[in-house]
Amino acid sequence: MNLRYKSTRGTGEPVTASQAVLKGLAEDGGLYVPTEIPKLPVSLDVLKDMSYQETAFVIMKEFLTDYTEEELKDCIAKAYDSRFDTEVIAPLAKVEDAYYLELFHGPTIAFKDMALSILPHLMTVAARKNQVKNKIVILTATSGDTGKAALAGFADVEGTRIIVFYPKGGVSEIQRLQMVTQKGDNTSVVAIHGNFDQAQSGVKALFEDKELAAELEQSGWQFSSANSINIGRLVPQIVYYVYAYGKLLQNEEITEGEEINVTVPTGNFGNILAAFYAKQMGLPIAKLICASNENKVLYDFFQSGVYDKNRDFVLTASPSMDILISSNLERLIYRISGEDARKDSDLMGELRTKGTYAITGEMKANLSDFAAGYATGEQAGETIRSIYGNTGYVMDTHTAVAASVYRDYRRDSGDTRKTVIVSTASPYKFARSVLTAIDPAYGGLEEEALIEKLHEVSGTEIPRAVKDVLHAEILHKRECPPDGMKETVKEILGVK
Ligand SMILES: *Cc1c(COP(=O)(O)O)cnc(C)c1O
């Protein structure tokens, strides 16, 4: 079978998987979706004995049908290797009545590694397949996590160059250190004298700059994007849901075919959308529980059928979920409209112009696979403290939002199906918030002492990623004003 990808906004011919990976966004501004969702290619019984890499192969080959088996296996082997601190890649921890799927054992200790460690390899293969002679330049604006995961993923990948812009003073100290100490001859990190929005709009303007594109082409470069709407990020995220189900089966926590629920701490709606696709493939998932923090635009959407970003933006202790426009939701909107590209474009147009849209009653009826909840910072902190108190297990602030929403859901719905809670970051990445939730007295500690204390409290190893950055050499010192980004990119690439 040769699966193709079409735009949610419907104009233009469907493209191959490798073309969708290279392009990222469709030309009409829509997101690429597969023309159909493939079924699970192996039985659950076979699945349960597979390694992470084997699971990745059988799932990804159903979606990326123009990649050869060798190409895919090679990408998988390069991505999920000893840069992860556990051979199982995505361990499941049973804590109280739930299973925490820990997606933070990769090089940057957050779940973005699950996809960003393989995307660069999928992209270089895609470039080769489509006779792209240029080298690929990845441009990213980051508020913290994505930049580092993309740097780690693309570092020293042949045929690529990565440039990351972050707002000077706008990221945490650990996040800054993680980026400015990044090794790799093809990596650049630039602090801009502005905020994240300015970095983001600056990058967007560079992508749309036709004159710049022509100049780059002359020197053998072309831009590509690593952001979370790329199907090269979405597809690898389906894998861990299938893998988790297999492990529950293998450990005899569930019986074959038993339906489970999943709870996902959500921002841009990529992670939970991957779970939805896993369900469409036939994985026995009952409810997809979408957990938000105080920026609860998704919770309100699932309650009312109205998406409304016109509200105050709240800075929370779970910053990677501080989002008011969840880009990947467009793929769900398209689906529940009965794949009506016209309807999708209309609603996204309203979002752009008015900041809000309402779905029809019929569309809302198609959302029955989902449940939604939100947790305040207070509630998430209380969850960290009480689960630690009861079990000794320490979770990060994003995972705590999901754990808190899960507790409420279970209590209010009476639905007691076994539940996988997706754990998206290591507590070491948010040591200060995590420790002060356990005991406010820890708030006075310095960064390094906090890490030591967390080690003591949790009884878990300090991740390499944290140890390394505290004493590593600063390699990136470049800065620029927001209106100097174009010049900076040209200078880095040696384009005159
Ligand atoms: C990105 C991120 C999320 C949100 O994931 P989405 O796919 O954007 O919904 C949650 N937690 C952490 C730690 C993240 O880095």
Residue-wise pLDDT tens digits, 202-233: 888 898 899 999 999 999 999 988 888 899 99
Q: Yes or no: say if 56 and 267 are a contact pair by the CB < 8 Å rule.
A: no
Q: Residue 242: which residues within 8 A CB-CB, separation 6 or more?
A: 40, 47, 55, 59, 278, 281, 283
> What's the average model confidence in pLDDT over 15-40?
94
pLDDT over 90 at 135, yes or no: yes
**pLDDT over 90 (residue 201):** no
Place of tokens 């529940």: 336
Q: Which of 101, 76, 36, 37 is nearest to 278 (CA)?
A: 37
**Other C-beta atoms within 10 Å of 114: how many?**
28
110 Cα–ligand 1 center, Å: 8
Summarize pLDDT for 369-425 with one digit per residue, the tens.
Answer: 999 999 999 999 999 999 999 999 999 999 999 999 999 999 999 999 999 999 999
Closest to 314 (Cα-Cα) out of 378, 260, 246, 236: 378
Structure tokens at 442: 């820890």
Ligand 1 site, residue 107, Cβ cutoff 6 A: no
What does the alpha-carbon distance between residue 118 and residue 63 come to, in Å, rounded to a whole number?
Answer: 15
Which residue has the CA at smallest separation from atom 14 of ligand 1? 320
Choosing from 424, 430, 434 the residue with most ligand 1 atoms within 8 A of its CB, the one to mutate for a pocket test is: 424
User: For residue 1, what pLDDT band results from cuts at 50, 70 and 90?
Assistant: low
**How far is it, in rounded angstroms, from Cα 48 to Cα 193?**
50
Partners of 485 in beta bridges:
none
DSSP string, 76-132: HHHHSSTTSSSTTSS-EEEETTEEEEE---STTSBTHHHHHTTHHHHHHHHHHHTT-
| CA atoms in the 13 A half-sphere facing the CB of 414 | 0
- Output the CA torsion 212→213→215→221 (10° steps): 130
Distance 274 CA to ligand 1 centre (A): 12
Task: Give residue 320 CA to ligand 1 midpoint distance, Å.
Answer: 5
What is the percentage of the chain residues whose pLDDT exceeds 90? 84
Q: How far is CA 429 from CA 6, 122, 227, 495, in A?
A: 37, 27, 21, 37
The residue among 430 and 144 whose pLDDT is bigger is 430
H or E element at residue 272: helix 270-280
**C-alpha 301 – ligand 1 centre gap (Å):** 18
- Residue 447: its pLDDT value, please? 86
* The model scores a pTM over 0.85: yes
Q: Region 474-483: what's the mean pLDDT? A: 96
Q: Residue type for 108, please?
A: T
Q: State the distance from the centre of ligand 1 to the C-alpha of 14, rounded, in angstroms.
A: 29
- Residue 221 CA to residue 244 CA, distance in Å, equals 40
pLDDT for 496 equals 77
Distance CA 250, CA 244 (A): 10
Residues belonging to the chain: 496
User: Is pLDDT larger for residue 325 or for residue 292?
Assistant: 292
Q: 190-226 burial, b for 16+ CB within 10 Å, e for fewer?
A: bbbebebebbbebbeebeeeeebeebbeeeebebbbb
For the Cβ of 425 lying below 6 angstroms from any atom of ligand 1, the answer is: yes
